[in-house]
Amino acid sequence: MSEQSCLVTNDWICGEYLRSRSQELIDATVQHIGITVASVLIGLAVAFPLALLARRSKRLAGPVLGLTTVLYTVPSLAMFSLLLPLFGLSSALVITGLVLYSLTILVRNILAGLEAVPEEAREAARGMGYGPWRMLWEVELPLALPALMAGLRIATVSTVALTTVGSIVGRGGLGNLIEDALPTFFKAQVLAASVLCVLLALVADLLLLGVQRLLTPWTRVHKVRREPLADRIRKTSAAVEAG
């Protein structure tokens, strides 16, 4: 008697499923990536001026931060229901909801990064004749990049996970596969889509970490400087022991 197919036995790990549904998995992954990238980029474009506004006026800082926090607490089903009359059942509906969810992380981290810039750096820039905008782009923003990138990484990983919720309107990328598999509890499909979602989050985080390291080389200078000192200490200790 021939061995039963893993699709028939509904195994968690099933190579036959990956082979037969590879295009379906690719399409869902591409949609997931597209929605995530669009949401994060638009969220960053919206969060940056909001953070500048909050920093410029202390009276507006509370309302801006409070509003973004409230938006993050709105359940996804309610959020999509509120946005449905404006966007219909489209990717724009999901992207808009994800943008609103990302604001609480992005605005706070951008604001924290800008406020952490040493006042001495600003004073030096003013002494060199820098205006407000030149100071922002050439002094403050580069120094705020570690905090900004940290927020961007958190927002991206969070958005990768939240994109699956878009399956309630048929625009959830890998979430569509998970939702389709739940009624029959199709194990291989649930596992494959879940694993791909986790891998997307890990890859996105590693890519952004690499970008952060490229954009902020000065954060590694102290590590480079410690190595020669450690070598000198070891050499000195060896010389003492030899003596």
- Using pLDDT thresholds of 50, 70 and 90, give the confidence band for residue 240: very low
88: left (phi over 0), alpha (psi -120 to 50) or beta: left
Give the confidence band of 230 by pLDDT, cuts at 50, 70, 90.
very low
Q: What is the pLDDT of residues 49-81, one digit of tens each?
A: 999 998 888 888 888 899 988 988 888 888 888
Determine the pLDDT at residue 235: 45
Residue 132 in tokens: 């407000």
Asked if residue 228 has pLDDT above 60, the reply is no
Q: Which two tokens stand for residue 81?
A: 């229901």
Are 174 and 125 spatial neighbours (Cβ–Cβ below 8 Å)? no
Confidence of residue 232 (pLDDT cuts 50, 70, 90): very low
Q: What is each CA distance from 175 to 22, 25, 161, 165, 234, in whole angstroms?
A: 16, 11, 9, 6, 55
Contact 156, 40 (CB under 8 A): yes
* Cα–Cα distance measured from residue 205 to residue 203, given in angstroms and rounded to the nearest whole number: 5
- Considering only residues 222 and 85, tell me which one the structure prediction assigns the higher pLDDT: 85
Q: For position 221, what pLDDT does the model report?
A: 56
pLDDT of residue 183: 83
pLDDT digit string, tens, across residues 113-150: 988 888 888 888 888 888 888 888 888 888 888 889 99
pTM metric for this prediction: 0.82
Reported as a pLDDT band with limits 50, 70 and 90, residue 89 is confident
Mean pLDDT lowest among 34-38, 132-136, 208-212: 132-136
**Tens-digit pLDDT profile for residues 140-188:** 888 888 889 999 999 999 999 999 988 888 888 888 998 888 888 888 8
CA atoms of 191 and 50, how far apart (whole Å): 39
